[in-house]
Amino acid sequence: MKIVFFAAKPYDSQSFSQLADQYPQLDLEFWETELSVKTAAYLTDTEAICAFVSSDVSAPVLETLHARGVHLVLMRCAGFNNVDLNAATRLGIRVMRVPGYSPEAVAEHAMALALAVSRRLHKAYIKVRENNFSLQGLLGVNFHGKTAGIVGTGKIGAAMARICQGFGMKVIAYDMYQNPDLPFVTYVDLDTLLAESDLISLHCPLMDETYHLINLDTIEKMKSGVILVNTSRGGLIKTDDLIAGIRENKFFGVGLDVYEEETQNVFENRENEILMHSTTARLLSFPNVIVTSHQGFFTDEALHAIATTTLNNAMAYLRGEKAGTELN
Ligand code: NAD
């Protein structure tokens, strides 16, 4: 079965090609171009395509895939808010994803962002490179003995909760389902979490109910001097309200791996010059804000796990089996 990869980056072809020998039934073809109605129209003899969280897997694109004989969409990511599942089901296209590849990769990045802003590492790095060894502007805060508030205690949130516990923090969480694997976590309502946390880390999915979860109202409820980290989805935070909060010195620091405009701007230009939307650029102008380019998942171990699960998904489809990673 031929699988065409859209928006394939060098690291995608590398991680998938390393495993190709183990899957002789699969013929992997890597296209650098993004998935669109126009590019999908070029597919020939292709039963499956592989897409990413930034891909346009909307109804018009799925119609074109269907017309070109594609029956399977393999998402090489966990998120699927960019896929029109109703259209896929209507057209008889199966969609599979990689639900959890390395929760620790994202959680460790969340803590890296938290530490970077808590100890002003981004400023220290620049200063020392300029031969400036003064401590001016570098005063940090401890995490030990403080309270971490985890919003969403699924796979990544649970990993972050364990990391925070390891730092000697009291860990509280907000989720509609209590994770039984986290006996050290105290579940509270969202208002309590906002009011009591010194570090707030977002790990819930982006849905109608969580869109702009962090806004003027919820920021108002936070402690002054809180550290906010978002490695989940940009739409969880209303950027203009966050900027207002930063201006009012509400935050000791903010670490963002995701931001509202990234789909249109950053991903399309990942390999080239990264073009920033003006709102994200405004965030970067604050000295206590760190932005990374959605790299939480980007570790060697995670890429290997993504490739393995995606190719196993393709094999399950070929064998007519349920893989447990189906979305429709
Ligand atoms: P998961 O499904 O295992 O966990 C999500 C948790 O959020 C669940 O426990 C769920 O009950 C909870 N939740 C749902 N609605 C909520 C709400 N309104 N309030 C509070 N909690 C709520 O997902 P995961 O694998 O832990 O991933 C979490 C998020 O991380 C994903 O949605 C994705 O957007 C993001 N992610 C980011 C990267 C990255 O590179 N930065 C990589 C992978 C995933």
Domains of the chain, earliest start first: 2-101+299-319 (3.40.50.720), 103-291 (3.40.50.720)
Is 86 strand, coil or helix? helix
156 lines ligand 1 (CB under 6 A): yes
Residue 136's pLDDT is what?
A: 96
* 294 noted as active-site residue: yes
Q: How far is the CA of 1 from the centre of ligand 1 (A)?
A: 32
Which residue's CA is the closest to the ligand 1 atom numbered 32? Answer: 205
pLDDT of residue 53: 85
Residue 76 beta carbon below 6 angstroms from any ligand 1 atom: no
Degrees to nearest 5, angle at CA 215 with 233 and 103: 25
For ligand 1, whether the C-beta of 79 sits within 6 Å is yes
52 lines ligand 1 (CB under 6 A): no
pTM of the predicted protein model: 0.88
Distance 2 CA to ligand 1 centre (A): 32
Q: What is the pLDDT of residue 267?
A: 44
Task: Answer for the pair 199, 169: CB distance below 8 angstroms, yes or no.
Answer: yes
Secondary structure letter of residue 10 according to DSSP: H
Report d(CA 218, CA 284) in Å as an integer: 22
**Mean pLDDT per 10-residue run, the chain (328 residues)?**
96 96 97 96 97 94 98 93 95 94 96 98 97 97 98 97 98 98 98 98 95 98 98 95 97 95 52 60 92 93 96 96 88
Structural element, H or E, at residue 51: strand 48-51
DSSP 265-307: TTGGGTTSPPPPPHHHHHHHTSTTEEE--S-TT-SHHHHHHHH
Q: Is 71 a catalytic residue?
A: no
Q: Identify the active-site residue in 120, 233, 271, 273.
A: 233
User: What distance in Å separates the CA atoms of residue 223 and residue 193, rounded to the nearest whole number?
Assistant: 10
**Residue 268 confidence (pLDDT):** 45
Q: Is 76 a catalytic residue?
A: no
How far is it, in rounded angstroms, from Cα 50 to Cα 31?
Answer: 10
